[in-house]
Each structure stands twice: as C-alpha cells, then as structure tokens.
Structure 1
Amino acid sequence: MHMADALVSPAVGGIMLAASAGCVAYSAYKCKDEVDEKTIPLMGVLGAAVFAGQMINFTIPGTGSSGHIGGGILLAATLGPFPAFLVMTAVLLIQALFFADGGLLALGCNVWNMGFYTCLLVYPLIMRPILKKGLTKGRITWSSILCVVLALSMGAFSVVLETTASGITALPFGIFTGLMLPIHLAIGLVEGIVTAGVLCFIQQMRPEILATAIEGTALPSKLNTKKVVISLLVFAVLLGGGFSLFASANPDGLEWAMENVAGTTELESDGGAHEGAAAIQESTAFMPDYDFSGGEGSAMGTTTAGLIGAGITLLLAGGTGLVITKVKKSHKSA
C-alpha cells in the first residue's frame, strides 16, 4: 500500500509529511520510558524483519491481486507503540530513498497510513486492553487478526481520502473506496494470521517482551533476549534473501484497485514538486524496484536488495534506539 508521488498533490503531501513528522517527534520523546539497551537489538531485528516481510507479496485467490504484510501491529505488540512507530518510519524511509518503493512526496502519507493507525491508534486503544486481560494464544490470535484488519482498512480508506483531497479525478471516491476496502480486508486477514503466529512464537520464548509492551515500560535489565533476537535475525535473512524470490507478480491491493478504476497502475504527474521529488529519489535509489540498477527482475538482484535493505534497516532502527538511550542517560546525569 505504498503510495506513489503521482497520487498526492504537493499540498496534501506536505500536510501529511508535517503530521507524520510531528508523530515521529512525539514518539521519540515518549520513548524515554520504553527504550533501553535491551530494546535496541529488538528494534533493529524487528525492523529488518518487517522490511524483508514487506518484499513478499502473497496472492489473493480469485482476485488477480496480491498483498504484503505491513507489520505495524507486530511492531507495536513487541516494542510498544512509540518505538514501533519510529521503526516503521525507518522502514518506509529506507524503502523510498534506496529502493524507490513509495514516493518521497508521498512519504508522509505512507508513514501515516501504515504506521499511525497500527502503532499509535489501534494497538494502544484496542489490542493493548484486550491483551491486558491475559496473554493467551487464543487472545493473541483473534486480537491480532481483528486489529490488523481494522488498521489496514483505516489505512486503505486514508489512501482514498488523500487521493480525493489531491484532486486525482482518475480515481473517483466511491468506486475507489468500493475496491480498496474489500481487497485490503482480505489482505488484512492473511497478515493478521501471520502476525498472530509470530507473536505466539515470541510469547512462548519470552512472554516478558509482550508484557512490557502492554505496560509501556522498558524490558527487565536481567531479561535474556538473545534467543529471540537471533531467531528474528535468521527470520529476516530468510525472508529478504530467500523467500522474497517467490513473491507474487500480481499487483498489490492499491495497484489492483487503481488498475480496475483508472485502467493503469501508473498515473502521470507534473509540476516542480513532483519533478524535484523524483529527481532526488532517482539519485538516492541505488536498487530501484529491489533490483540492480537497470536490471530486469533478476533473482540475484532481489536477494541482494533484500539482504542490503534489511541490513540498513537494522542499523537505522537500532541506531535510533541507541540515540534515544544516550540522550536519556545524558539527561539523567545532567
């Protein structure tokens, strides 16, 4: 559900960028109570896993469409809302800058649609109260499916609102909504099941991780998270370096809806803001579309992009946690 620049006007893109930047700043401030040395490696490997997971499109039977996990609920349930939002922002920023996945002008929209609803709205207001009643596998499973579907539907509807506010007449509000919501409902069901599986795995290994996210506190200083971190790192490598080769070639939910409404997945755009954003992205994206520059969908290119992207995300997400802990320590010693 990564929006391209052609789907948003400069005004809408600017407003959403400001809104998302405000959420980033607020999340960084609130992380002072939730991030410590134990959280840093988890932020890194979970960010890498979500980056790699978003590369794998799965076919939605009978539709000619595909979907991929968003990962917001997974991040929030393991890290807490505010660290999760920062990690999701890191994932989307790296995708846009280095792999031309999602536009730079539309970056604020993508962060809002895929990060705000999952991390800062649905998890704290719906999933957290459910899990506070008990961390059972059954409760984790049905709450994961419910919350992923709800958050993804909100994000899909936001795409419609953002294109409408941008004056994209090729995507009429009613018809576009009628296609976006049902297809993302189906995608959400699959992602919800995947999310539940990963959370149940973490719960079985280290239930304290989910418990501290519920309470909004830092992990216990004596908690050993090494096995979980290594498992998630292996998971990220397998996804990005191997399973990404088997991603569905069908258009994702947004592209599928656009094609059915406008007859194309690539709308044209003009204007200085769009051209400037495109020029910046062209200069920074060293592996556009997750392949070698000028490549044609080679297996080696996809594998390399998956591993490099996951590695960069690990460093940026983990580095964000490191900076927060350093700032927190400096304030305590001041």
Structure 2
Amino acid sequence: MHVPDGFINAPVSAVAGVAAAGAVAVSLRGARRELDERAAPLAGLVAAFIFAVQMLNFPVAAGTSGHLLGGALAAILVGPYTGVLCIAVVLLMQGILFADGGLTALGVNITVMGVVTVVVAYALFRGLVLVLPRTRRSVTVASFVAALVSVPASAAAFTLVYAIGGTTAVPLGKVFTAMVGVHTLIGIGEAAITMLTVGAVVAVRPDLVYGARGLTAPLKLRVDGELVDAAPARDFAPVAARSPRKFWLGGLAAALVLAGFVSFYASASPDGLEKVAADKGFDKNVEEHDAAGSPLADYGVKGIETARLSGGLAGVIGVGATLAVGTGAFWLVRRRRAESTGAQV
C-alpha cells in the first residue's frame, strides 16, 4: 500500500509529514521504556524481517496481490512505540534505496502504514489478551485478529486522506468500498503471517515477545480439593537468562533467505492500492519517483541482467541496510534510556 508521489496534494502531504514526525518523536520517547535488554537486540531484526517479508507479494484476487504491512507484527514483538519506529525505518529505506513509496508521500505512508496499523492492532491485541485465557495460544489468536483488522483500517485511513487531499476527482464511496474490500482479503494474509511468526517466536523464546510478557498463567495443582500455584522448577535456568544470539542469527538467516531467494517467486500482480487506483482512475497524476535512478530502484541491482540474481542481491542489500540503520537507531534510543536511568539513580 505504498502511496506514490502525486496521489496526495502538497499541503495535505505536508500535514501528514508533520503528523508522522510527531508520531515518530512520541515513539522515540516511548521506545525508551520498551527497549530493555530483551527488546533492544530484537528491534533492528524485526525491521529487517518486515522489509524482507514485504517483498513477498501474495495473490489475493484476479490480477491483485498484497504484502505484509507489518504494524501488528512489530507492535506485538517489540512494543507499539518501537513498532512505529520499525515501520518508519522500513519505509524510509524503501523510499530512498528502492524508489518504493513516494518521498513527498513518506509522511502519508508512515501515518497510514505505520501509525494506524500499530495503534489499531495493538489496542485490539491488548483488549483480546485481557479477556482470553492467559496462555500462549491466546497470544497467537489475538495477533491474528489484530493483524486482520489493522489492514482494512489502514485502507480506510488512506481513503480519508485521499478524500481531503486527493489530486483526482473520483467517487470516494466506490474508492472506500474497493480499498477496504481488497485490503480485507490482504488482511487475511497479513493475519496468517503475523500469527505464524508470533507463534514461532512464542514457542521458542516467549520472553522476547513484548505482547506475551506476563501472560502465561502459573501451573496449578489441586491440594486438598483446592487449586494452588505450583512451585517453580529450580533445576532449569529461566528462559530469559538465555542469550538471544542464536535466535537473532536464526531470524537474520530467515530474512536473508526470504529476501534473497523466496522473493523471486512473489506475485508480479499490482498490489491492492495500485489495482484500485488503476480501476478507479486516480493514478493519472502519479509522478516519477525522485530515486528512480537509484542503483537499487524497483528491487533490482542496476547492471545485473539476470533477474533472479539482481532481485535476490537487492533483497539481501535491503535487509542488511535496514538492519544496520534500525539497529543503530534503536541502540541510540537504548543508550538514552540507560543515561536517563542513570541520571535518575
């Protein structure tokens, strides 16, 4: 759902840019509380993983594809504030390096694809885990529902922005119906990817999942007809005491394989926004991307003729760049948290 330059007029794009900058500023402050010793090493990896999975367009209808937005996944894994920052990093790298998503529309994209998805998904996720049984399965179920709802919510937000600042006169009722309809289908794929990813991490390292902290109920034993909490086992070190290094390396390897190899088999059909824009006629004012001449534009390496090698290498470069920028940014936020804590002490 990357909005290109030319869809939204300059004044509304500027306002969206200010709103996105404000959201990032708030998220930078909030992320200081989230980026502890468990979340900090994971946050850059989450951004890189989302970048990789966004390269995997999947078919959702005749001539239409979709891809992960990632707001729900990021919020559940590393927290809502850090989640907004993860999506902002991904969108920034995509816009600058790969000419994907307009640069003047960066504020629109961060607001629609990042802020809206994170806020809607995490609010719904937290509400569900409060009423569902306090188990790991509840976390995966809640992640599915949250991700599913976040995608059409993002589509509705885009329609609202277009209603205010769209550059082409189109019947907004039909645009809204088409956008929400196709992105509900895309949301099913988003929900499946989010649930499987969250479920996999919860299964091996539940301590690394921000949304799963403190949710597992203690084991109960019946003693004299009454249920009491079982004493914790003393023979094993707690999961949280284990180093996340192996998990981090495994996640990085998965991201590299997805971006460098599996992405070659992604659907070539236009995504939901592109398809609706073409069908409803509001793609007439699309402008050429300012980074169209980038060596990595359109997710290929300029000068390499073999499509598989060009796309795979571009994906690997994108994962590495996103990981480096994201990790650096989150390290700085983590350092500010440490300095702030030290000052308070």
TM-score for both structures, normalised by structure 2: 0.85
> What's 1:177 paired with?
176
What is the match of residue 318 of structure 2? 309
Deviation at 1:33, TM superposition (A): 1.4
Please tell me whether residue 227 in structure 1 is matched to residue 246 in structure 2: yes
**Aligned pair in 2 of structure 1 residues 332, 119: CA closer, same or farther (>3 Å)?**
same
Distance between the aligned counterparts of 1:117 and 1:159, measured in 2?
Answer: 10
* Change beyond 3 A, Cα 1:73–1:174: same
The alignment partner of 1:7 has SS state of coil
> Where has structure 1 moved over 4 Å in runs of 4 or more?
132-135, 211-215, 294-297
Cα separation, partners in 2 of 1:221 and 1:53, compared to 1, 3 Å: same
1:251 and 2:249 aligned: no
Please say if 1:268 is aligned against 2:285. Answer: yes
Distance 2:31 2:105 in 1: 26
CA RMSD of aligned residues (A): 2.4
Aligned to 1:206: 205
Q: Which runs of 5+ in 1 are unaligned?
A: none
Q: What residue is the counterpart of 1:318 in the other structure?
A: 327
Higher Cα radius of gyration:
2
Q: Alpha-carbon deviation of 1:200?
A: 0.7
Q: Note the alpha carbon deviations across 1:150-192, whole angstroms, 9 max, x for none.
A: 1111111122122221243353211111211111000101110
**Mapped partners of 1:74, 1:135: distance in 2:** 19
For residues 82-231 of structure 1, the aligned pairs below 5 Å read: 82-123=81-122, 125-132=123-130, 133-134=132-133, 136=135, 138-210=137-209, 222-231=241-250
| Secondary structure of the corresponding residue to residue 267 of structure 2 | coil
**Contact 1:9-1:166 at 8 Å conserved across structures:** yes
Q: Partners of 1:304 and 1:333 in 2: how far apart?
A: 43
Per the TM alignment, residue 40 of structure 1 is displaced from its structure 2 partner at its CA by 2.8
Whether the aligned pair in 1 keeps the contact of 2:38 and 2:207 (CA below 8 Å) is no
SS at structure 1 position matched to 2:209: helix
Aligned-pair CA distance for 1:142: 3.1
Higher helix share: 1
Q: Percent identity?
A: 31
How high is the TM-score relative to the length of structure 1?
0.88
- Specify the alignment match of 1:49 in structure 2: 49
Unaligned runs of 5+ in 2: 215-238
Residues in 2 aligned to 1:135 and 1:5: alpha-carbon distance in whole angstroms: 45
Q: CA 1:214/1:84 → structure 2, altered by over 3 Å: closer, same or farther?
A: farther
**What's the secondary structure of 1:6's corresponding residue?**
coil
Q: Secondary structure at 1:59's aligned position in 2?
A: strand
Q: Is the 8 A contact 1:164 1:172 kept in 2?
A: no
- How many residue pairs get aligned? The number is 319
Q: 2:336 aligns with which of 320, 323, 327?
A: 327
Post-superposition Cα deviations, 1:194-240, rounded to whole Å, max 9, x if no partner, equal 1101111111101112256657xxxx973432232122111101111
Residue 112 of structure 2 aligns to which amino acid in structure 1?
Answer: N
